[in-house]
Amino acid sequence: MKPTVLKNRPQLDLDLDAINKQLATQDATATVRWAVNTFGDGLILTSSFGIQAAVMLHLVSRIKPDIPVVVLDTGYLFPETYQFMEQLTDRLSLNLKIYSPTITPARLESTRGRLWETADGIDEYHRITKTEPMQRAIKELGATAWFAGLRARQTDHRASLRIVEQQGDIHKIHPILDWSERDVHQYLKAHDLPYHPLREQNYLSVGDTHSSRPITANDTDERATRFGGLKQECGLHLPTTRAEDDSRMSADL
């Protein structure tokens, strides 16, 4: 299913090839400013309040302080994540918008079981806990564009992305797409911003408690520590057309 937007939001006819060529020569701040000038109040920012979340939250909110920050609360987040969320919300005066599934964790497990334990189950789990709440957020907030802190080095699919893409009826903007771990660290240090507290316990990627674990010497990359190694993506940032989905599957995502 593709995201739904409010009918009173005009859809822009953008030359994405030209825009991406232009933005490729500029820094992340310039990309954020371009998006704010282009989409205005149609912009939202999503954050999982993961390990490096402070980068995008700071980068975007200092240019557009009132931007809705959408958080998908599955009901299975770490206590440290909720605490980190409170810390950054207070420090950066974030306009937090929390969306949860229409079914509680207890009811989900009672009626569907532990869906995240199998590859097929994970897909269903993500549709219930992430895709549907995200579509609801897009509709209710009237969003036409979406900032996401994806980086090309994280997964095969993300390596194929451009700074500005279109996913269904919404434009996606990835200001830090070409950033390295060093770039992230330097930004956090320069602005005295914290990592997620679980980084101190060797977590390099944090989502739900049941799908995240610390990295070990046997792991080849940080995404192997998510979803029991069965998936690299939760579904929010995956393609929506058949051709794009075929490409995604060929990348074994």
Helix (H, G, I), strand (E, B) or coil at 239: coil
For residues 180-210, one letter each, b for 16 or more C-beta atoms within 10 angstroms of the residue's C-beta and e for the rest, the string is eeeebeebbeeeebebbbbbeeebbbbbbee
Q: Which of 88, 234, 236, 253 is catalytic?
A: 234
- Look up 9 and say whether it is catalytic: no
As a dihedral over the C-alpha atoms of residue 19, residue 68, residue 150, residue 139, rounded to 10 degrees, the angle is: -80
Cα 15 versus chain centre, distance: 24
What are the start-end ranges of the H helices in the chain?
Answer: 16-23, 28-39, 53-61, 79-92, 105-112, 119-126, 132-141, 156-159, 181-190, 242-250
Burial status of residue 252 (CB atoms within 10 A of its CB: 0-12, 13-18, 19 or more): exposed
Contact assessment for residue 55 and residue 193, using Cβ atoms and an 8 Å cutoff:
yes
Q: 79-92 vs 53-61: helix axis angle to the nearest 10?
A: 20
Q: 16-23 vs 28-39: helix axis angle to the nearest 10?
A: 140
Supply the DSSP string of 168-187, one letter for each residue. TTEEEE-TTTT--HHHHHHH
Q: 28-39 vs 53-61: helix axis angle to the nearest 10?
A: 50
For the annotated catalytic residues, the residue numbers are: 234
